Amino acid sequence: MHITDFLRGSPDGIDVKGPGVLCSFDIAGVTINLTETVVISWGIILAVTLLLAWLTHDLKTKDISKRQVVAEWIVTTVYGLVEDSMGKRWRWFAPYIGALFTFSITGSLVSMIGLRSVTADFNAPLAWALVTFVFIHGTNIKTHGLGGYLKGYIDPVPVMLPINVLSEVSTPVSMSLRHFGNVVSGMVITSLLYFALSVVTKSIGVAFLTIGVPAVLSLYFDLFSGFMQAFVFIMLTMAYISNADGRQEA
Amino acid sequence: MNLDFLTIDVGTILFTLINTFIIFLVFKHLLFKRVDDILEKRRQEVTTTYQEADTALASAKADQEKYTAALAGAKEEAAQIRTRAEQRARQQSDNILEDARREAQAAREKAMQDTEREKEQARTELKGEISDLALELAQRIMEKEINKEDHERLIGDFLQEIDTAGEGGKA
């Protein structure tokens, strides 16, 4: 392939695919696909479990190890974040926030070891956004009662009903699409860059650009973006649920 | 085979929910519960340590007060002993002085009694001598006129008179 191919647009150049399907089976007429995303998630679960088991085995009250310092730092930081955003009543929510953040960031970062990002599959952030959605509405009903909750849709005037419904539905959609879009755009840009660099390498015959340049960009698109999106996702989750809770603590 | 780039796949969503739940459980039990437990345990240990320190401090203070009290008691006792010793010394000196005074008094009284007795004795002797002297004088003056018995009676009367006069004079 020559540089002219790239400029003209290569017929076999860039093809950004969805997650691969390893196998699929039908349950009650619904096709269940076992995709790359799910299998990589299992790997993440395994790795996280081993990591946490290693971090928290043999905890002591004094003369603590560096492992324990890290473990305690994680726990107290997440507790602090949850209590600051949602109040002390939501302290029990901290493990979910920690799990979500970890799943999200590792799901994005697996691209650094050559795997397909879990979060580059729209279904993963969509599933998390659905959990948030359920929590938002569950909390809302719990706080205001079913009547108060339903009344919220015709507030301040009944004419607002469609807009309010749309607003509620758009919350998980915007959350999941934001996360998916950021990660996947990084993936697309990285693919484009690799393609461009390979074309340049072929045209000048020296493969120096493919080393280094992608690494620098990867710092932004994988590390920074992955971290930012995970953080934004948990902050939004806490903010929405806390907002639905309504009983703001002083 | 690949899914479309942007597709909603029920299977993936379900699996992701399950996976998220599993990671949540892992976080809850492997990380949060364990760390919570150890933090609680440490908090209790700290509380216990503080309580022990407080107890030790209180006991030290009690000891200090006890020793201070004992020291004060000892001082008081010393003062008492000194006071008692002073009193005893004063008592003794008073007694000695009193004895001395009494002895002096007794000596003076005895001396006065002695003097009185000697005076009496002297007076008695003088009386005898005077009577003898008068008798002898009277014998010499009127040798043959008056017998001895009359003379002695006369002189006795005379001396009686003198004596009475003397006692009257003395009184």
- Complex ipTM value: 0.85
Look at residue B9 in the predicted model and tell me its pLDDT.
Answer: 84
Q: Do A49 and B30 touch (CB under 8 A)?
A: yes
| Of residues B13, B22, B41, nearest to A123 (C-beta) | B13
Burial environment of residue A99 by CB neighbours within 10 A (0 to 12, 13 to 18, 19 or more) = buried
- Distance (Å) from the alpha carbon of B82 to chain A's nearest alpha carbon: 60
Dihedral angle over CA of B4, B5, B8, B11, nearest 10:
70
Domains of chain A, by residue range, sit at 47-245
Q: Can you say how many angstroms the Cα of residue A60 is from the centroid of all Cα atoms in its chain?
A: 33
pLDDT band at residue A234 under the 50/70/90 scheme: very high
Q: Using one digit for the tens of pLDDT, what is the confidence trace for A110-169?
A: 888 878 889 988 999 999 999 999 999 999 998 888 888 888 888 778 888 888 899 899
Considering only alpha carbons, which residue of chain B is nearest residue A32? Answer: B11
Which of B14, B18, B20 best tests the A interface by mutation, with the highest count of A CBs <10 A?
B20
The pTM (predicted TM-score) of the whole model is: 0.70
Contacts of A33 in chain B (CB under 8 A): 3, 9, 11-12
- Distance (Å) from the alpha carbon of B47 to chain A's nearest alpha carbon: 13
Considering only alpha carbons, which residue of chain B is nearest residue A17? Answer: B5
Residues for chain A: how many in total? Answer: 250
Contacts of A31 in chain B (CB under 8 A): 10-11
Q: Do B5 and A17 touch (CB under 8 A)?
A: yes
| Of residues B23, B30, B39, nearest to A103 (C-beta) | B23
Q: Using one digit for the tens of pLDDT, what is the confidence trace for B40-58?
A: 999 999 999 999 999 999 9
